[in-house]
Amino acid sequence: MRFLKKATAVVIVCILTIMNISVYAQSSDENKQNNIYLENRIEYVSIDGFDYKYEYKLDGESNRMITITNNDTGQTDILKLDRESGIIFLNNIAWGTVETIWCEDISSDSFAEGNTRGWENRGHFSHYVTWAMGTAAAVVAGAIAIAIGSIGSAAVIAAMGIGSLGVLAACTSGGTEDDYLYFRQYDAYNWQYKYTWRFVANTGDSYGYYDSMLPLNQM
């Protein structure tokens, strides 16, 4: 895959789903984390004049997988996060790790008809992510996304910028992803989640916080 150190990006997202989005609010906590993978979501991203396709799925052992295809060159890279070991595989080779360093899931039974509120904190999660230095920025975006779980690579690229990701890919071998999950109910039939997150490289450079909104959920 073409190495990207400094570039500009225009993010064009096309979300294709095969499941009703309401599954997100009614499934288990693990399904919330894996929602885009359960949906087999597809995102299209334009990076420095090249068109990339990100495809999300779970394998037979519920491991998150992202297939990254450069549609112009035909180059394909496959990321897989092993849920048991925390190892990230790139094209079937151990390439990085994800270590959970903080996990606070705040459950709530506040969802009820007419119970409209502002944003409520539903959890705080933190992961230490590593990767092989010198990897393409498009792949590093996938590594950060696969660690967070509920947002895609397009959201990571849109928030951080491909230039910053290029610097991370070239000059660092990972860092700490820190995110907060928030929930808001608009009325009896409409609610939404968002992630407020940042990434702190192992060089000490901090990126964020960013707000990544998940699609509006409807019953």
What is the model's pLDDT at position 54?
98
| Full domain range(s) for residue 72 | 9-218
Count: domains in the chain:
1
Characterize 176-205 residue by residue with b for buried, 16 or more Cβ atoms within 10 angstroms of its Cβ, and e for exposed: bbbbbbbbbbeeeeebbbbbbbbbbbeeee
User: Could you read off the pLDDT of 74-90 as tens digits, one per residue?
Assistant: 999 999 999 999 999 99
Average pLDDT, the chain: 82
Burial pattern 89-124, b for ≥16 Cβ within 10 A else e, equals: bbeeeebbbbeeeeeeeeeeeeeeeeeeeeeeebbe
Average pLDDT over residues 52-81: 97
Nearest to 80 by CA among 51, 37, 30: 37
Residue 3 within any structural domain of the chain: no
How far apart are alpha carbons 196 and 210 in whole angstroms?
5
The predicted pLDDT at position 205 comes to 94
User: Is residue 25 included in any domain, yes or no?
Assistant: yes
Whether residue 5 is predicted with pLDDT greater than 90 in this model: the reply is: no
pLDDT score for 10: 34
State the pLDDT at residue 78: 98
Per-residue confidence band for 2, with pLDDT thresholds at 50, 70 and 90: very low
**Per-residue model confidence (pLDDT) at position 217:** 76
DSSP strand E in the chain: where? 9-10, 42-47, 50-58, 64-70, 76-81, 87-90, 93-105, 120-130, 174-185, 190-201, 206-213, 217-218
The answer as to whether 155 is a domain residue is: yes
Task: Say which residue the tokens 């309401």 belong to.
Answer: 22
Q: Is residue 96 part of a domain?
A: yes
Residue 60 lies in a domain: yes
Cα angle 90, 200, 141 (rounded to 5 degrees) comes to: 35
What is the rounded distance in angstroms from the CA atom of residue 47 to the CA atom of residue 98? 25
SS3 assignment, position 189 = coil
**Does the structure show a pLDDT above 60 at 152?**
yes
Q: Is residue 192 part of a domain?
A: yes
